[in-house]
Amino acid sequence: MAETPLVAAERLSKTFQVKVRDPGIGGAVRALLRPRYRQVHAVRDVTFRIGPGEIVAFLGPNGAGKTTTLKMLAGLLYPTSGRVHVAGFDPWNGGPAFKRRIALVLGNRQQLVWDLPPEETYQLNRAIYDLTDADYRSRLEELVILLGLGEVRDKPVRQLSLGERMKCELVASLLHQPPLLFLDEPTLGLDVTAQEAIRRFLIEYRDRHGATVLLTSHYMQDVTALASRVLMINQGRLLYDGALDVLVARIARVKRIELVLGGADGVTKDALAAFGEVKSFHFPNAVLEVRREDAPATSARLLAALPIADLSIEDPPIEEVIRQAFAQGFEGADA
């Protein structure tokens, strides 16, 4: 694709000034009398390009700089240095024309009016975005069907479950069918069914409308299910930019087997060590680490050999994956 990218960030950086406070009463008094500040480099020298129709995930632990990057792309923050272009606009100065082309969904704060049914917020957005009646009705219907929201509409938002609320939030955000979606932790706090429903929806929506989706997450599953391309960010730096399967193959070489042992405490740590590296052992819970490709076979052997009440195969925590990535020196590689 030699066309101009839809989203382009060049050496993007953002630095905040934060007040320093030591814990405890002594520290609190000191902060009272003589406040100090330190610089937080939330985003350091990040460069990437995203084309139309891509689904891209910004992956990283909490505080990595993902949300800050997203806010700069959406025009809520302006960069300390570097440049950013989105859909032909400078987001910070984009104005209403830019805002009509984006949707911003923040996981922890919602635009739905809390005390009224979601329909009221939809109607409000219809007026705000100047949608024609025909457009409004057809898009609403499509979104409701795709998200499976048929019965929800009459209850006030505060009475909806977290999953229903997020789905309604998505409806409200997409009525104006923007070409760009910015989602900050969209599956945060949702149960597995809701998470899967939202992931399926995003893929379907992109397939139908060719929208470009940028999301931040610290869940591996979001990335594996959704994004063909992942940008790994840690401590403000872009560690990896490329295809997901490549990243997985390169880094997440291990899997963790989480066990709940049954029976009396006859199973010893040594017994488990025969199957793999024992990460933690507090009877009846245990966590083993094995090579990714060995995980299914090892699980089968464990189930056959030991009294096990529960077993699950998990990805290693994202912090570990990233730590490994950093240790192995991924820096701003393109796919």
Partner 1 sequence: MRQVLRLLAAFWRINVAEELQYRANFVASVLGTLFYMATALLTLALFFRHTSQLGGWDYWEIVVLLGVFNTLTGVIEAVLRPGIGSLVGEVRSGELDLVLVKPVDPQGFVSFRRLDIWRFTDIVLGLALAGYALHRTGRAPSWDQLVAFGLALAAAAVVVYAIWVLLMSLAFWFVSVENIAVLFDALFEGARYPVSAYPGALRFLFVYLIPIAWTTTVPASALTGRLRPALALVAALVAALMFLLARLAWRVALRRYAGASG
Partner 2 sequence: MSWARRYSALIRTAWLVDLQYRASIVLWLLWGVTEPAIALGIWWAIAGSGTVGGYARADFARYFFGVMLINQLTIAWDSWYLDRWIREGELNFRLARPLHPAHEAVADNIAYKARTASVILIVWLVAAVLWPVVRLPATPGRLALTAVAVVLAAGMRFFISFTTGLLAFWTTRATAIMELHAGVSLFLAGRIAPLALLPPAMASVAGVLWFRSMLAFPVDLLTGSVHGVDAVLRGFGTQLVWLAFWAAACRVAWTRGLRRYGAVGG
List residues near partner 1 by CB under 8 A. 21, 24-25, 28-29, 31-32, 35
Residue from 114, 87, 99, 78 nearest 173 by CA: 99
Cα separation, 45 vs 238, in Å, equals 8
Pick out residues in 116-155 that bind partner 2 (CB under 8 A): 116, 120-121, 123-124, 126-130
Chosen residue from 1, 2, 17, 264 binding partner 2 by CB under 8 A: 17
CA 252/CA 304 separation, integer angstroms: 26
Residue 31 touches which of partner 2, partner 1, none (Cβ within 5-8 Å per kind):
partner 1
Tokens for 110?
A: 């919602």
What DSSP state is assigned to residue 109?
B
Q: How far is the CB of 158 from partner 1 (least distance, A)?
A: 10
The least distance separating partner 2 from the CB of residue 240, rounded to whole angstroms, comes to 25
Closer CB to partner 1, residue 31 or residue 278?
A: 31
d(CA 201, CA 173): 14
Residue nearer to partner 2 on the CB measure, 116 or 333? 116
Q: Minimal distance in Å, beta carbon 122 to partner 1?
A: 25
Q: How many CB atoms lie within 10 A of CB 118?
A: 25
CB 262 within 8 A of CB 287: no
Taking the C-alpha atoms of residue 143 and residue 175, their distance in angstroms, rounded to an integer, is: 8
Whether residue 225 contacts residue 196, with contact meaning beta carbons closer than 8 Å, is answered with: yes
Q: How far is CA 117 from CA 102, 114, 141, 157, 246, in A?
A: 24, 8, 16, 5, 44
Of the pair 31, 203, the CB lying nearest partner 1 is at: 31
Q: Footprint of partner 2 on residues 171-210 (CB under 8 A)? A: none
Cβ atoms of 120 and 48 within 8 Å: the answer is: no
Q: Based on CB atoms, which residue is closest to partner 2, 113 or 248?
A: 113
118 binds, among partner 2, partner 1, none (CB under 5 to 8 A by kind): none
CB of 284 to partner 2, least distance (A): 42
329 binds, among partner 1, partner 2, none (CB under 5 to 8 A by kind): none
Binding mask 94-113 for partner 2 (x = CB under 8 A): -xxx-xx-x-x-x-xxxx-x
Q: Which helix (H) or strand (E) holds 74?
A: helix 66-74
Contact 15, 39 (CB under 8 A): yes
Site string for partner 2, 256-295 (x = CB under 8 A): ----------------------------------------
Q: How far is the CB of 60 from partner 2 (least distance, A)?
A: 17
Question: Which of 242, 227, 233 has its CA nearest to residue 333?
Answer: 242
In sequence order, what are the beta bridge partners of 18? 38
| Beta-bridge partners for 81 | 13
Residue 21's binding partner among partner 2, partner 1, none (Cβ under 5 to 8 angstroms by kind) is partner 1
Residue 75, amino acid: G
Q: At its nearest, how many Å lie between partner 1 and the CB of residue 23? A: 8
Query: Rule CB under 8 A: which residues touch partner 2?
Result: 16-17, 68, 71, 74-78, 92, 95-97, 99-100, 102, 104, 106, 108-111, 113, 115-116, 120-121, 123-124, 126-130, 156
